[in-house]
């Protein structure tokens, strides 16, 4: 019997995890796997780019988990610099073109048949059509090529006195890049359209990040919209203009968020959700399509707390999706139940984390909540090096069910959010959380861990709210 043909579109986290897992389960005689990747790299960590640019880790090779050759050695026919330009669902085939050879003329296009298809096309960074946005010195940081191009620009500026960088956007990529540029000796300004940095936090917690960023020497301007990029006589970037100010810049980094890369899927008539991500069932099979799976940044995921689908572009999800898809296309069985919205990042020594719902998100889905914020410490108060840590907790009114946690603080703050992520997944109440048997010793936490302090305060707030009604 001829081998089944699996085609994977996209050669990074979701796509190659799917291909690798399928190969573990099925031999080349049973399953022929072809993966198409239009870029220069495969199975790489975009997450490492800010640390590579900042000089903390080596790159780009160190950021590549598996090279094309390593995939090919495992009988995955990986075609680099090959773009899929169309999915013909009825004909079970994809149209592909070589990116480097006569692509513009379309002369090199051909069809490739499949029995099973995996769509793992990732996300596209937002790049508004502002005057000057394509000027030399303006950089995105989505791919390793982007990272290298930025490093090349920084190399050219090495001898420039008083080097200035502007980062546009204050989401996690924006703040991580601000840190990288500070490390490289730049005076950094972050321009942010929102009220506070980190839109993944409530504004009151974002305000703590703002304060800390200013303390770290990062000029952070909130509530401002970039209108154009100004260039000098040499055509290179010289400043970023907002409605009312000009910010001089030798280099500009864009961190404006991403949208699912689903143009192929849209053109093929596959189902998309409100954020433009592909809709799948729990096995990551595209809804209504028996032989097509999708995962990673190009899909919407089920938010287990709100019950809605959302687009959350994170590598942690993409890798898990790939494992699930690979198991299913390889003849096994696996599901991806959904997410609780956990994310962690940092700017210099400030750690920023969240899980569950923000206040606005809870309100949007009709949940009523009480909210508390506590200031605790990272270690026992008497232990050297202890630092303040803010924990905000949302609990459902009446039931006391945990709805969300945000943490801003120094050492040890970020990964503490995992305690809350587990509690959310388990559907715990804040009262149940107060009894969690967490580890304690003075160098690691106060005797009441900051998360438990917040849970105690939230428990009291829920009880007070019940009494008041």
- Sign for the pseudo-dihedral over CA of 41, 42, 46, 50: negative
Q: Which of 249, 294 has the CB closer to ligand FAD?
A: 294
Q: Which of 68, 404 has the CB closer to ligand FAD?
A: 68
Among residues 47, 214, 298, 348, which one is catalytic? 47
Residues 159-178, one symbol each (x = binds ligand FAD by CB under 6 A, - = not), give: --------------x-----
Q: Which of 48, 132 has the CB closer to ligand FAD?
A: 48
Q: Which range of residues in 70-78, 312-320, 417-425, 450-458 is near ligand FAD by CB under 6 A?
A: 312-320
- Asked whether the beta carbons of 168 and 240 are under 8 A apart, the reply is yes
Across 417-428, b (16+ Cβ under 10 Å) vs e yields: bebbbebbbeeb
Q: Which of 6, 7, 8, 9 binds ligand FAD (CB under 6 A)?
A: 9
Q: Which of 30, 98 has the CB closer to ligand FAD?
A: 98
257 binds ligand FAD (CB under 6 A): no
Q: Classify burial at 43, counting beta carbons within 10 Å of its beta carbon; exposed 0-12, middle 13-18, buried 19 or more.
A: buried
Phi, psi of 17 (to 5 degrees): -65, -40
Chain mean position to CA 258: 9
Q: Which range of residues in 10-18, 286-294, 378-386, 398-406 is near ligand FAD by CB under 6 A?
A: 10-18
Q: Is the peptide bond before 333 cis (omega within 30 degrees of 0)?
A: no
Report the site for ligand FAD in 179-208 (rule: CB under 6 A): none
Question: Is 47 annotated in the active site?
Answer: yes
Q: Which of 323, 321, 314, 379 is nearest to 344 (CA)?
A: 314
CA distance 255 to 316: 19
- Asked whether the beta carbons of 298 and 260 are under 8 A apart, the reply is yes
Please work out the total of residues on this chain that contact ligand FAD, with binding judged by CB under 6 A. Answer: 33
Report the site for ligand FAD in 261-300 (rule: CB under 6 A): 261, 264, 296-297
Q: Which of 59, 60, 68, 122 binds ligand FAD (CB under 6 A)?
A: 122
- Asked whether the beta carbons of 419 and 360 are under 8 A apart, the reply is no
Chain mean position to CA 393: 22
Q: Which range of residues in 31-39, 271-279, 415-423, 430-438 is near ligand FAD by CB under 6 A?
A: 31-39
Q: Which of 264, 433 has the CB closer to ligand FAD?
A: 264
Rg, Å, the chain Cα set = 24
Residue 315 burial (CB count, 10 A):
16
Q: Which of 168, 313 has the CB closer to ligand FAD?
A: 313
Q: Which range of residues in 119-127, 129-137, 178-186, 279-287 is near ligand FAD by CB under 6 A?
A: 119-127
- Sign for the pseudo-dihedral over CA of 168, 12, 46, 417: positive
83 binds ligand FAD (CB under 6 A): yes
Kindly state the smallest distance separating residue 455's Cβ from ligand FAD, in Å.
26
Kindly state the smallest distance separating residue 84's Cβ from ligand FAD, in Å.
4
Kindly state the smallest distance separating residue 244's Cβ from ligand FAD, in Å.
29
Q: Which of 273, 446 has the CB closer to ligand FAD?
A: 273
Task: Give 3-state DSSP helix, strand, coil % of the chain, rounded to 5.
Answer: 30, 30, 45
The three-state secondary structure class of 379 is coil
- Asked whether the beta carbons of 85 and 95 are under 8 A apart, the reply is yes
Q: Which residues are catalytic?
A: 47
Would you tell me which residues interact with ligand FAD (CB under 6 A)? 9-15, 36-39, 46-47, 49-50, 83-84, 120-123, 141-142, 173, 261, 264, 296-297, 313-316, 318
């Amino acid at each position: 019997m001829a081998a089944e043909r699996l085609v994977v579109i996209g050669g990074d986290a979701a796509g190659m995890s799917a291909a690798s897992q399928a190969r573990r389960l099925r031999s080349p005689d049973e399953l022929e796997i072809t993966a198409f990747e239009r870029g220069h790299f495969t199975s790489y960590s975009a997450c490492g780019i800010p640390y590579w640019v900042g000089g903390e880790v080596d790159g780009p090779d160190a950021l590549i988990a598996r090279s094309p050759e390593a995939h090919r050695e495992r009988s995955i026919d990986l075609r680099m610099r090959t773009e899929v330009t169309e999915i013909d669902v009825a004909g079970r085939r994809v149209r592909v073109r070589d990116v480097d050879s006569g692509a513009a003329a379309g002369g090199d296009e051909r069809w490739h048949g499949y029995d099973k298809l995996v769509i793992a096309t990732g996300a596209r960074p937002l790049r508004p059509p502002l005057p000057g946005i394509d000027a030399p010195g303006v950089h995105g940081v989505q791919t390793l090529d982007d990272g290298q191009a930025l490093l090349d620009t920084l190399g050219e500026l090495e001898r420039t006195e008083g080097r200035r960088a502007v980062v546009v956007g204050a989401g996690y990529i924006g703040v991580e890049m601000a840190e990288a540029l500070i490390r490289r000796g730049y005076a950094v300004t972050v321009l942010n359209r929102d009220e506070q940095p980190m839109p993944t936090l409530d504004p009151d917690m974002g305000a703590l990040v703002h304060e800390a960023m200013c303390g770290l020497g990062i000029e952070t301007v909130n509530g401002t919209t970039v209108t154009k990029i100004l260039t000098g006589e040499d055509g290179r970037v010289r400043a970023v203009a907002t409605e009312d100010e000009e910010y001089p810049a030798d280099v500009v980094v864009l961190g404006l968020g991403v949208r699912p890369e689903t143009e192929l899927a849209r053109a093929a008539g596959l189902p998309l959700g409100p954020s433009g991500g592909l809709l799948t069932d729990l096995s990551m099979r595209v809804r209504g399509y028996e032989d097509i799976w999708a995962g990673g940044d190009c899909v919407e995921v089920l938010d287990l707390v709100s019950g809605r689908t959302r687009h959350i572009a994170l590598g942690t999800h993409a890798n898990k999706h790939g494992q699930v898809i690979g198991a299913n296309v390889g003849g096994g069985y696996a599901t991806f139940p959904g997410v609780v919205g956990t994310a962690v990042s940092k700017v210099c020594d400030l750690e920023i984390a969240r899980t569950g719902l923000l206040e606005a998100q809870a309100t949007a889905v009709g949940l009523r909540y009480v909210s508390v914020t506590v200031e605790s410490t990272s270690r026992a108060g008497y232990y050297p090096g202890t630092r303040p840590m803010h924990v905000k907790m949302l609990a459902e009114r009446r039931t006391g069910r945990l709805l969300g946690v945000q943490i801003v603080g120094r050492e040890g703050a970020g990964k503490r959010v995992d305690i809350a992520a587990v509690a959310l997944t388990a559907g715990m109440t804040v009262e149940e959380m107060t009894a969690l048997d967490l580890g304690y010793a003075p160098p690691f936490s106060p005797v009441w861990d900051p998360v438990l302090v917040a849970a105690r305060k939230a428990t009291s707030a829920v009880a007070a709210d019940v009494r008041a009604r």
